[in-house]
Amino acid sequence: MFPINFDQSGLAERLYPFAETRNILDIRVGILTLREKWAWLLKDGTSNTAASVTIPANLIPTQKLVNQILSGQFRAESGVPSDRRIEYPWHIFQFNDSAIREDYEVISRSRISAVIPETVQVTRSTRIFIEEGATLSHCALNAETGPIYIGKNAHVMEGAYIRGPFALCEGAVVKMGSRVYGATTVGPYSVVGGEIKNSVIFGYSNKAHDGYLGDSVIGEWCNLGAGTTNSNVSNNAGNVSVWSPASNGYVVAGNKCGLFMGDYSRSAINTSFNTGTVVGISCNVFGEGLSPKHIPPFSWGMSPIARYEFEKAIRDIANWKKMKNQSLSETEIQQLKIIFDRI
């Protein structure tokens, strides 16, 4: 494959909390992660040059860019458009609409969708792609507003209403009576229910019950307790500021911004998240009233916030992983210990 160097310098703090526990290339926006997008776009290409190029790791690639790289016409000094770079976590949901549409075209090109079951109410079936092993029954799919992708072995239960653009990745589940608006991505083996709008949920996480999730990004191995809801608009309809370690303060994210939850974090039933809340990794969030705007890693509760004991945090993460037939590796434990020790 053509050699590409991915530059991650200066990105980890701006993409907190999601870059704490993963390579920038493993951030999901649209149907695919950034790494998967490059693999899809490069798989049929042949390079005309042996020279390597350096690309920002937070760049959302396009076929045009890949063609320029493969033909040797790409010039790093020319730069890349800022609206193709995930500079802050809110860009993940802000770019998700266009990213789903682009990924859909790449994945479905020259392929035939599985048959849509007769019990499914469909609008614009030509913009719906269903992978092998997916199961759907007595639900409604409306692709008039954007494409809908249903991944391998995914399951949409009866009574679910889904509007595109929407992506349900491999093994993920939409529960009965769910209401899902675009542009929403449900990552591999995640489970969702209730009302969701313009959000990205990474793999192995649960928002399985009633409650609202909007303009938000949820990491891996997270669990939102029943009734958990986030605010995504300020009462004065003004700009929402989000805490960022890159600036050691708050950065304006636009007038709609919900919840950013790092990997391995959870909320108790009926938790109410403030507008533009950032939750670090491995937090157990519970308490009365609206959440603080920033809940640091390894937090226990929210008013007041105590420190989550490391051994208990590891025990609890391992228990959650067992529920999806996974285990916590020694590498993951060491990574979490590094983060815990620097708090």
Structural tokens at position 145 = 């507003």
Which uninterrupted H or E stretch holds 137? none
Convert 164-174 to b/e letters by CB count within 10 Å (16 or more is b).
Answer: bbbbbbbbbbb
| 337 three-state secondary structure | helix
**Separation of alpha carbons 108 and 130, rounded Å:** 9
- In this predicted structure, which of 42-56, 58-72, 107-121 has the lowest mean pLDDT? 42-56
Which uninterrupted H or E stretch holds 181? strand 179-181
Domains and CATH numbers, the chain: 4-73+83-106 (no CATH), 119-341 (2.160.10.10)
Half-sphere exposure in the Cβ direction for 68 (13 Å, CA)? 14
| 278 three-state secondary structure | strand
- In this predicted structure, which of 12-26, 39-53, 113-127, 322-336 has the lowest mean pLDDT? 39-53
DSSP 8-state secondary structure symbol assigned to residue 259: E
**Separation of alpha carbons 214 and 217, rounded Å:** 9
Q: What's the pLDDT at 162?
A: 98
Q: Do the beta carbons of residue 281 and residue 219 sit within 8 Å?
A: yes
pTM equals 0.95
Share of residues in the chain with pLDDT > 90 (%):
86
Q: Do the beta carbons of residue 207 and residue 230 sit within 8 Å?
A: no
